[in-house]
Each structure stands twice: as structure tokens, then as C-alpha cells.
Amino acid sequence: MPGRKAPEATRREQILKAAYEVALNRGIDGLTVRAVAARAKLSHGLVHFHFKRKAQLVSALLDWVLATTTVLHVPAVIARIPRARDRLRALLRQEMDRLAKEPRRIRLFFEYWALGTRHAPTRARISAELDRYRAAFRTMTAEMVQREPGEGAGVTADGLAAVAVSFVNGCAVQAMIDPTHFDIDQYLAAVEGIFG
């Protein structure tokens, strides 16, 4: 029954939500226009009406995934911690907790990542997003290097920030691979055991 109106924004959101669900269940390859339409209980023609090309749909979904995954929020409780190093550790812990709770979205994020390897625009957007994420850590690591010099030779603020991001990534991957056997406390204790 054509003609049933719905505000443009609403329909787009509805379709995007359906696309997200399909991508979670079937992966990016399984993200077909028809599957999304079926999930949203719409005709595939309508999906093409709101997103002229499939690429636009995939791109819009990437926007959403990035906006909800790689945004670093520093709560006041952490910001108040005096020592930079402790603050960084607390922040890492927060991010581990946050990402470990959403292994499915993380998996989707990595699928986009793999896709980016063969698709320059996607790669550029993910890369830019990770740069911002790293920059958010950098202010903290800069303070660390400044206040605690001589700790390690050749350790720069950039290097520390890169490691922080990489560390979070590693944990996210681990949580994605084996969500049940991932214990954050064990993990942190073991890291200090090896490198402390």
C-alpha cells in the first residue's frame, strides 16, 4: 500500500536500524538491500528511494558505527585523578570495559576495517576517526611524559598514545573472539606481571 507517509528522517533511521541488525547477524557481505528491506518490513524499492545506492547505505551505517564506537569520553571522576599515569590507566580500564561489553559492534567495526583495506574512502574515514581517538589520549600522555621524564628513553607522547589505542584494540579483539573467557582484572594483572 504505497503512500503511507513517514518523515524522511524517521524512515532513514528505521532503515539504518534494520541495516545495523542485518549487518550484526550476517556481516557486511550479508548486508543486502533486500535483506534490510525485509527486516524493516518495507519494499526494497523504498530502500533505494532513501539511499540511492547501496554504497550510501553502507557508508551511513559506518557513520553510525564510528559515532558510537570510537568516541572517547573522559568522565569527571577520571579527569580528577591527579597522577597522569593513574588517569591513563583508569581511562584504559574504562575503555576495555566499554568495548568488552559490545563484542558484536566491535566485530562490525573490524569488518569495516578489513573492508577499508580494499576501499580507500572507507579506509580514510576509519583512519581519521582513529586519529581523533588517539588525539584524545595524547593530551594525557603528553602530561605523563612531561611530568615523569627519564622513565624510559625514547618514549614520546605520540608513542604512548598509539600504544594506548593499540592496547584497547587488542582487548577489544580479545573480547570479540572469546567474550566469555575475557577477564579484565586478570588481564591487567598479567600485563603488570610481564612488564612490571
Q: CB of 5: closest distance to a copy of itself in angstroms? A: 36
Region binding a copy of itself by CB under 8 A among candidate stretches 11-19, 41-49, 56-64, 81-89 = 81-89
Taking CB under 8 A as the rule, does residue 121 contact a copy of itself? no
Burial of 173 (0-12, 13-18, 19+ CB in 10 A): middle
**How far is 191 from 97, CA to CA, in rounded Å?**
16
Region binding a copy of itself by CB under 8 A among candidate stretches 8-16, 48-56, 66-74, 165-173 = 165-173
Neighbours of 108 (CB within 10 A): 23
Q: What are 106's three cell numbers? A: 566491535
Region binding a copy of itself by CB under 8 A among candidate stretches 13-21, 54-62, 74-82, 147-155 = 147-155
Nearer of residues 33 and 144 to a copy of itself, judged by Cβ:
144
**How far is 113 from 123, CA to CA, in rounded Å?**
7
Q: What are 191's three cell numbers? A: 600485563
Q: Is 33 helix (H, G, I), strand (E, B) or coil?
A: helix
**How far is 144 from 175, CA to CA, in rounded Å?**
28
Nearer of residues 57 and 84 to DNA, judged by Cβ:
57
List contacts with DNA (CB under 7 A): 1-6, 8, 11, 31-35, 42-46, 48-50, 52-55
Taking CB under 8 A as the rule, does residue 195 contact a copy of itself? yes
Taking CB under 8 A as the rule, does residue 64 contact a copy of itself? no
- Could you say which residues in the range 19-58 bind a copy of itself, by CB under 8 A? 25-27, 29-30
Taking CB under 8 A as the rule, does residue 156 contact a copy of itself? yes
Rg (CA), the chain: 20
End-to-end CA distance of the chain: 67
Is there a contact between 103 and 176 (Cβ–Cβ < 8 Å)?
yes
Q: What are 94's three cell numbers? A: 574504562
Under the rule (CB under 8 A), what is the footprint of a copy of itself? 25-27, 29-30, 85, 88-89, 92, 107, 110-111, 113-115, 117-118, 127, 130, 144, 151-156, 159-160, 162-164, 166-167, 169-171, 173-174, 177-178, 181, 183, 185-187, 189-196
